[in-house]
Chain A
Amino acid sequence: MGDRESDQALVEQVLSGDKRAFDALVLRYQSRVVKVISRYVRDATEALDLSQETFIKAYRALPNFRGESAFYTWLYRIAINTAKNFLSSQGRRPPQGDVAVEDAEFYEGPSELKDTATPERNLMRDEIERVIFKTIESLPEELRTAITLRELEDMSYEEIAETMGCPIGTVRSRIFRAREAIDKQLEPLLSDE
């Protein structure tokens, strides 16, 4: 089990007429799509517009998504094509060094997006990151290990249970409690936005 399964479940939910389920996919992939597109356009406004266009195209094409590849691989392809078509329409050339579609799920390369955010937004971003890492550091060891193995090592619950020598139900609970502890610190920051 992993992202692929929950993505597929969300896609099926959208295709059963539930438009709201698409929001969940957007929230999941918005940062990654912006980051990939920012390899092609460095202007933040253009990157956001193209990212939005990518998701709209994906929504319209969703009935054709057969689940043969991971949802993100499919979305990545749409994002790349949208960015390339945009550059072509502007008479601009795409940069060298595309990331292969096969590696799309693992791509976490540096963003070249020119940060046009306000100083307040930059401060907020730094504060969010500081709060998250500080809270993780302060977690009890079993919660910190569980969330780290899940988020950084991409281990399944079963693998984490084996590693930590505890039942899967305990892993599920520890990961949730870790997320809740971080979320509790994060929520007040974001509600002020």
Chain B
Amino acid sequence: MKNELKESLSAFMDGEATAQQALFEQFKVNAAMRHTWARYHLIRDVMKHRHVSQATVLSQRVAQALQDEPILFAPQHKRRITRHTGQLIGWSVAASLMLVTAIWFSQRTLSVDEEAVGLTAFNQEGQATAEVEQTLSDYIVSHNEYSASAKMQGMLPYTRLISYSSTQQQAGNRIE
């Protein structure tokens, strides 16, 4: 076995190696490398006075017993959102939602005033309404998702009050 590889093995043993994948590949196929790893650890155990002579047969016994065991693969864990991160995301979405709602109200008020003086063309307003409706829907959906994951039950009644319907607006109804 090359000295370069052995030096990497020595560093890996101490948690100081960088190119680990090459070592793993060698460990699979190179028996000499596995023996070196075993002897390096034997040196460590003897130096730390924790060497147990009976233990040297253990690795062979375990390897034999594991022959019939299935190959393992890491489970696909869902990405976990910590409590604090979840709350932060929840509050951020809620704040954004409030801001967008406020902007939308101010725009709508302006739009109604413009309608009154006949300055806004019907098709322009229709386009703006569709955009606002889409934006609000996105925020409400995002808010509902994150408030549930962040356990922000306190925000739920608030979101129930917010709804938007273009037909309502066209009919001139006020949002409550």
Residues of A within 8 A of B (CB): 1-6, 9, 12-24, 26-28, 30-35, 38, 44, 47-48, 51-52, 55-56, 59-60, 62-63, 108, 111, 113, 115-117, 121-122, 124-125, 128-129, 132-133, 136, 147, 150-152, 156-157, 172-173, 175-176, 179-180, 182-183, 186-187, 190
A56 touches B42 (CB 8 A): no
- Count of B interface residues, CB-CB < 8 Å: 51
User: How far apart are A39's CB and chain B's nearest CB, in angstroms?
Assistant: 12
User: How far apart are A45's CB and chain B's nearest CB, in angstroms?
Assistant: 9
Given A9-B12, A179-B10, 15 extra CB contacts under 8 A: A19-B69, A19-B71, A20-B27, A21-B28, A26-B62, A32-B45, A34-B55, A48-B55, A51-B58, A60-B69, A129-B46, A132-B46, A157-B16, A183-B39, A183-B43
Q: Using an 8 Å CB-CB cutoff, how does the interface string of B1-25 with A read, 1 for contact, 0 for none?
A: 0010011001111111100100010
A182 touches B54 (CB 8 A): no
B24 touches A132 (CB 8 A): no
A128 touches B46 (CB 8 A): yes
Complex alpha-carbon distance, A98 and B6, angstroms? 38
Complex alpha-carbon distance, A138 and B36, angstroms? 21
Q: Using an 8 Å CB-CB cutoff, how does the interface string of B24-53 with A read, 1 for contact, 0 for none?
A: 100110000010111111111111111111
Complex alpha-carbon distance, A125 and B42, angstroms? 11
Chain B residue contacts of A30, Cβ below 8 A: 52, 55-56, 58-59, 62
Partner of B62 from the list A14, A52, A117, A128 (CB cut-off 8 Å) is A52
Partner of B69 from the list A1, A3, A56, A108 (CB cut-off 8 Å) is A56
CB contacts between A and B, total, < 8 Å = 177
B14 touches A38 (CB 8 A): no
Chain A residue contacts of B117, Cβ below 8 A: none
Chain A residue contacts of B59, Cβ below 8 A: 23, 26-27, 30
Complex alpha-carbon distance, A158 and B142, angstroms? 47
* A-B CB contact pairs (8 Å), 14 listed: A3-B14, A6-B12, A6-B15, A14-B72, A19-B69, A30-B56, A31-B50, A48-B57, A52-B58, A55-B62, A56-B62, A124-B53, A175-B11, A186-B42
B52 touches A172 (CB 8 A): no
User: How far apart are B50's CB and chain A's nearest CB, in angstroms?
Assistant: 5
Complex alpha-carbon distance, A72 and B8, angstroms? 23
Partner of A19 from the list B34, B56, B66 (CB cut-off 8 Å) is B66
Shortest Cβ distance from B4 into A: residue: A176
B6 touches A176 (CB 8 A): yes
The 3 closest A-B pairs by CB, nearest first: A15-B74, A1-B15, A5-B15
Complex alpha-carbon distance, A187 and B47, angstroms? 17
Q: Using an 8 Å CB-CB cutoff, how does the interface string of B116-151 with A read, 1 for contact, 0 for none?
A: 000000000000000000000000000000000000
Are A172 and B7 CB-contacts (below 8 A) given A1-B15, A23-B63, A183-B43?
Answer: yes
Complex alpha-carbon distance, A148 and B55, angstroms? 24
B6 touches A180 (CB 8 A): yes
